Every structure is written in structure tokens, then in C-alpha cells.
Chains A and B, each alone.
Chain A
Amino acid sequence: MAGGQRVAGSGWENRDAPPPATRHPPSARLPWWLRDLIYAAVFIAILIGASYGLDRIPIGGIAYYRRIIVLMGINIILAVSLNIINGHAGQFSLGHAGFMAIGAYFAAFLTVFYFAPYVNKFPEGTEQWLLQNGLLLVAVLLGGALAALAGYIVGLPSLRLRGDYLAIVTLGFGEIIRVFILNINKIGAARGLSGIPNWADFFWVYLFCGITILISWRLVRSSVGRAFLAIREDQIAAEAMGVDTTKYKVKAFIIGSFLAGVAGGLFAHYMMYLNPEMFRFLKSFEVVVMVVLGGLGSISGSVVAAIILTFLPEGLREVKDFLHTNKDPRMVIYSILLIVLMLTRPQGLLGRRELWQVLARRKDTIPTDERDQGDATDRP
């Protein structure tokens, strides 16, 4: 990531560690904007290279893997953005599929009815290509903005509700959105919305993936992120310390739902078809499972879990072939694995740590008992 964090390692939980040594990376001598620009340029170059490579690799069935990899990127965006709400701010939301649906449908609506006809007036060429990608960006961001507005509206009740109540309200909100989409004829209702041009590809998905991770990473290390953590740890104490809990909870919802909306927009422009059934609460569950499995509050944990859980059902296809049944045992095995994983590591795969901390086997980055996370006040 774009370097510059003062505390080597992750941050707040590191309070017992000795003060960081004066370890200046060489890039610190460059002005920050130039340094960040170089990082961004390198990232984009890698993306273009990977995208180009994935197009050309002559392996059988590469199209299949390409597709999974792109969907994996969308899942990473969803998981990391939900991690901001659930993991960092500790507000248990089950409505992520709803925000994603808003973003997906609004972006697709803009493209299908306004942008695509406009783009098609131009002859094929650089101009059209630029316009197409520019308008994709606009559509996706507007989709995210509408989702953020919805997040603001959902965030308001979260001021008063906690724990289970909030979970069921957000879940209900997601379902309400789905039912409303189901009843808007203009965007296809139950038939689904088809004819969305295939504008989003590997490059766009992973660009936003990088942006999402960067936002999340910088956010946790900002004053806003610290406020999130304070609310998660102990809302009353945070309030006593002068944190405006209401404001920050709503902020968490707005940021998380914006990114979910962006993921939805990309999803729409990649799948080229949308159906309200894609955004049932099972989709929200899927994302929540990713976040919790990775470890609440661990960004790299969310990424790792998103990767695992995207590939797991695909990998289990082999089992199905092995059993020679036409019934599908994949989801049964998936659910058993989920239960076993949760029983063996209730704090998630990585706990609160980031991947590299786990790999470096730093034992005492977590001074407090790990079981004290979540809202400890109303534990049964």
C-alpha cells in the first residue's frame, strides 16, 4: 500500500510495542504527491499488464477462470466495504445486497437508457472507447452515490438500534429494495434488466478493488477510522470521550454502501444482465460470511476470505464430478466447512490482524482477549 503509515504494522493495537524506529523508506524523500502518483502509475500498469495477459494466455478454459477472477474482484470490493461497517464501526449490517442492487440497477439504468445510445452514435475508434470508459466511470460512481444516499437513510435508524435489531432492520431494508425493484417495470421488474453493454472488465474491477482497499486502509488510520474503532470497542466510552457516535455510524454506512453500490455497478456492466433474485439476502449473508470468516476489522482478512469463498464452490465442482451424482453436494459441503471454520476459529481466519502480521507470527499484537470483540455489552 501507499506507505507512509507511521506505526510499523497495523496501528492501534500496537500500543505495547516499542515506538517505531526511524525507518524511512527511500520513497519518503519524494514529495508525497509524486510518490503516490508513482504508486498509482505502477498499480495501473500492473493491472493493464495482467488484463492484457489474461486475454492472451493460451490455456484451455481460461475464459472460465477469467470470469471467476473478475467476480472475485467484485466480491473483494463488497467484503472490504462491508468490513468498514461491520468490522471497523461494529454496526452489524445484513443489507449489503440491497446497496449493491441499488448501485447495479441505477448504473445499468443510466447506461442502457442514456449512455449506450449516445456512445453508439460515434464511430468505432479511440473517441468512442474513451467516451465509453468515461461514461462507465460516471454510471458506476452515480450508482455508488445513490447507494450512499440509501446508506444514509438506513444509517439513521442505526442511531437508535443495536445488535440484533439493527441486523434485522438492515436485512429488511435489503428485502424492501428488492421488492421495489421487482415492481418497477422500466428496469425489467421480475424479467430482469438485460441488454447492458459489457463495459466493465478485469481492469475496471481491479482498479476499484485497489481503490476500495486503499480507502479502507487510509480510513482506519484517520481520525474517522479511530472513531469507528472506539464505537466498536465501547460505544458508551466513546461517547464519554466526545465521539459523536451518531455521526460516525452514519458515515460508516455511507462509505460502505457507496462502495457496495460501485461493486454493483461493475457487476451490472460485467454480467450484462440483472435480476432482483441476484440480490436476495443470501447475497448479503455471503458477504457477511466473508467478513466474519476473514476476521472482523482485518482488511486483508476480508480479501483472503473473499478469494477463498469465491473459489471454494468452484473447487467443489470436482467433488460433484467425483461422486457421480446429478444432485449438487457443493453447498452442503460449503455449509459444513463454514460451521467447522467458525468453530475452530471463532475470531475469523486472521482475527483482527492483517495477513503479514499473522505471517510474521507476531504473537502479542493483540493485548486484549480476542473474545471481547463485537458488542460485548449484550452478549448472551
Chain B
Amino acid sequence: MQTFLQYLLNGIAVGAKLINFAHGDVFMLGSFVGFYAGGWAARHMNNQAGTLMSWVVAAAIMLLSMIACGLFGYLNERIAYRPLRNAPRIASLITAIGVSFFLEYGGQFVFGPDPKFFPTLIEKHLIQFGTITTTNYQIIVLVVAVIFMALLQYIVYGTRFGRAMRAVSFNFETASLMGIPTDRIISITFMIGSALAAVAGILFAVSYPKIDPLMGIMPGLKAFVAAVLGGIGNVPGAVVGGLIIGIIESFVGGSRFSNFTPAIAFIILIGILLFRPSGLFGKYEPEKV
């Protein structure tokens, strides 16, 4: 349940047709910001969990984490991507790997390598829907995720900015000729992507209350797999890709092939790309001379 929700939030990872290997680590950064802010808040709140106040605090923490990660996303783009925009594509891939290493090992250096428990901000209790039992956490995660996905969908397809973003993604040079401030658009895209990664990080940390500096590697990679599966740059595609991976993974996890779960996402990916080289919903773009 929660697993695929993060993937769909992570879908923006490749929004602007750029591989961002550091995305999963921004996700980690977001949850750590939440961890420290939450820890600070918990010390000053005197166990008011469950009251209206704790909801406000939780929302504030999420906002703080989004701002911090958005800022990081901006710096990341500014320092590691913009200078390389005209360089070979692979160079920016290497810097992305460098940023990813920097966050992972820097995280281990600063936060310490041992897992930490995320503070409880809102009390957890069970909810009964007929025969289905769930927790209020899962519902919160679902609601928040759906809100942000809808918001993202609106930004990408319903605003001027989103149109500019899609134009830049479609053809960088032409977009620039049409007067679109490409640099600014890409910066903002990175900020949005990083802020969403922060949301995913917090949701993950809340529902699975254990975080460590290397926690972002696999979700980051699988977010990318989900995005490729759905077709790069296609938000609903990324959502569906994330859902497919999440559902099949949980099925395999429950079967006797559970040992193979870590490989499942990739096996699905290879299987689908063999038949649809540009992902499930990606448009086939013939090569032009």
C-alpha cells in the first residue's frame, strides 16, 4: 500500500527528461529534516498528540521539509546541472551520481549510519471498514499522496508554467527560441521534484518509522523504473507504473518466490520495454536526422 504511493510521488523524478539519480537521496534528506524538526516539536509539545495542534505541527513539518528539499533541489540544479547543460549528457549523469554519493555518505557522516526512529506526531489507531482493517496512517498517506498527485497534474497540465515545462522537456532549443526562460523553468522543476520527494520521504518515515541515510537508494531507483515503465515525462504513466510495480511486488512478496522481490521491478521493466520501447504510455518518437 504505502510502497507504491511513494513511487507515484516519486514519478516526477524524471519530469524534465533528466535522470536524477540523487532523487532517492533527496527523499532521504526530506525524511531526516522531518525527523529533526519532528523531534524538536515533540520535545516542546508536551504530548499533545491527537489534538488539532499536532495536525498543524505535522503540516508545518512537512512544509518545512518541502522548503528545505526544494532549496536543495535548486542548489543541486544550479551547481551540478546547469553548468553541464551543453556538456555531454553522460557528464550530468556522473554529477548526479556524485550528488547522490554526497548525500548518502554525507548523511552517514552527519546523521550517523544507524537507523533512527521517526517521532510519533499523530496517534496511530485502527480503523474498520467492514471486513477491511486499516490504520489512520494509511488513510493519511493515501489522502496526502492523492492531493499532491492532483496538484502535480494540475501544475503540469493546467498552468502556464506547466506548459512551459512540457515545452522545455519536448525540445529545449525551440522552447528557448519561443521566449521560454528555460533555465528558470528547469530550476523550478527541480524544486518541485525535490519538494515532492520530501513529501514522499515524510510519508514513508511516518508509516514506516525507521530512517537511515541509505534508505533512499532503492525507492529512488524504483521511482525511476516506474517513470520509465510509464513513459518518461508522463505523470499519469509514472503513477500507473508505480502502481503496477507496487502491486506485483506485494504479490510476489507473499508468494514462495518472495526471495526474488528485489529483482521483480526490473524484470517487469525489461519485459515491458521489450515490447514497448518507450514505456507503457510514452509516445514513440521516431529518430530524426
- Residues of A near B106 (CB, < 8 A) are 332, 335
Contacts of B56 in A (CB 8 A): none
A343 touches B80 (CB 8 A): yes
**Contact call B80/A172, Cβ cutoff below 8 A:** no
B95 at the interface (CB under 8 A from A): yes
Asked if A347 meets B102 with Cβ closer than 8 Å, knowing A164-B19, A173-B270, A236-B289, the reply is no
Q: Report how far A168 CA is from B20 CA in the complex, Å.
A: 12
**Residue in A92, A172, A179, A327 whose beta carbon sits within 8 Å of that of B90 in the complex:** A92
Is there an interface contact between A183 and B84, defined as CB atoms closer than 8 Å? no
Taken together as a complex, chains A and B put the C-alpha atoms of A371 and B87 apart, in Å, by 5
B263 proximal to A (CB < 8 A):
yes
CB <8 Å contact, B90 and A157? no
Give bound CA distance, A378 to B277, whole Å: 15
Give Cα A332 to B98, complex, Å.
9
The reply to whether the CB of B45 lies closer than 8 angstroms to some CB of chain A is no
Nearest opposing residue in chain A for B277, CB measure: A160
Contacting residues, chain A, for B79 (C-beta < 8 A): 339, 343
Tell me the dominant secondary structure on chain B's binding face.
helix
Nearest B residue to A281 by beta-carbon distance? B221
Given the contacts A160-B277, A169-B270, A342 and B94 also touching, CB distance less than 8 Å: yes
| B288 adjacent to chain A (CB < 8 Å) | yes
Contact partners of A176 in chain B: CB under 8 A: 263, 266-267, 270
| CB neighbours of A163 from chain B (8 A) | 89
Q: Are A289 and B266 in contact (CB under 8 A)?
A: no
In the complex where A343-B95, A377-B288 touch, is A172 in contact with B89 (Cβ < 8 A)?
A: no
Out of B101, B169, B232, B265, name the residue touching A338 (CB < 8 Å).
Answer: B101
CA distance A331 to B90 in the complex (A): 21
Report the bound CA distance from A239 to B6 in whole Å.
42
Say yes or no: A380 contacts B18, CB within 8 Å: yes
- The prevalent SS among residues of A at the interface is helix
Is B228 a contact partner of A165 (Cβ separation < 8 A)?
Answer: yes
Within 8 A of A (CB), among B89-110: 89-91, 93-95, 97-102, 104-106, 108-109
A296 and B90 contact, Cβ closer than 8 Å, known pairs A175-B262, A179-B263, A236-B289: yes
Chain A residue numbers with a CB within 8 Å of B195 are: none
Given A157-B274, A175-B266, A179-B260, the answer on whether A342 and B105 have CB atoms closer than 8 Å is no
- Which partner residue on chain A sits nearest B81 by CB separation? A380
Chain A, 294-319, CB within 8 A of any chain B CB:
296
Given contacts A347-B88, A379-B89, contact A289 B94 (CB under 8 A): yes
Q: Cβ of B190 < 8 Å from any Cβ of A? A: no
B89–A375 CB distance below 8 A: yes
A322: interface (CB < 8 Å): no
Q: Which residues of B contact A346 (CB under 8 A)?
A: 84, 87-88, 91
Alpha-carbon distance A166/B100, docked complex (angstroms): 20
- Please name all residues of chain A whose beta carbon is closer than 8 Å to the beta carbon of B221 when the two chains form the complex: 171, 281
B41 CB contacts on chain A under 8 angstroms = none
Whether A380 and B94, one on each chain, are in contact in the complex, defined by CB atoms closer than 8 angstroms, is no
In the bound complex, how far is the Cα of B19 from the Cα of A285, in angstroms?
Answer: 14
When the two chains form the complex, which single residue of A164, A285, A334 contacts B232, counting CB atoms closer than 8 Å?
A164
Whether A374 lies near B88 (C-beta < 8 A) is yes
B266 contacts across to A, CB distance below 8 A: 169, 171-173, 175-176
Complex CA distance for A180 and B266, rounded to whole angstroms: 13
- Interface: A243 (CB within 8 A): no
B85 & A380 in contact (Cβ 8 Å cutoff) = yes
Q: Kindly list chain B residues whose C-beta atoms are within 8 Å of the C-beta of A329.
A: 109
Minimal beta-carbon separation of A121 from chain B (angstroms): 37
Determine whether B16 belongs to the interface, using a CB cutoff of 8 Å to chain A.
Answer: yes
Given known contacts A92-B90, A168-B225, A236 and B287 CB-to-CB distance under 8 angstroms = yes
CB distance from A342 to the nearest CB of B (A): 5
Q: Quick check: A292 and B91 within 8 Å, CB to CB?
A: yes
B: residues with CB less than 8 A from A are 14, 16-19, 79-80, 83-91, 93-95, 97-102, 104-106, 108-109, 112, 169, 172, 221, 224-225, 228, 232, 259-260, 262-263, 265-267, 269-270, 273-274, 277-278, 287-289
Taking A346-B84, A379-B172 as given, write out 20 further A-B residue pairs in contact, using a Cβ cutoff of 8 Å, ordered by the A residue number: A164-B19, A164-B232, A165-B228, A168-B269, A169-B266, A172-B266, A175-B262, A175-B263, A175-B266, A180-B263, A183-B259, A183-B260, A281-B221, A334-B105, A335-B98, A338-B101, A339-B95, A339-B99, A380-B169, A380-B172
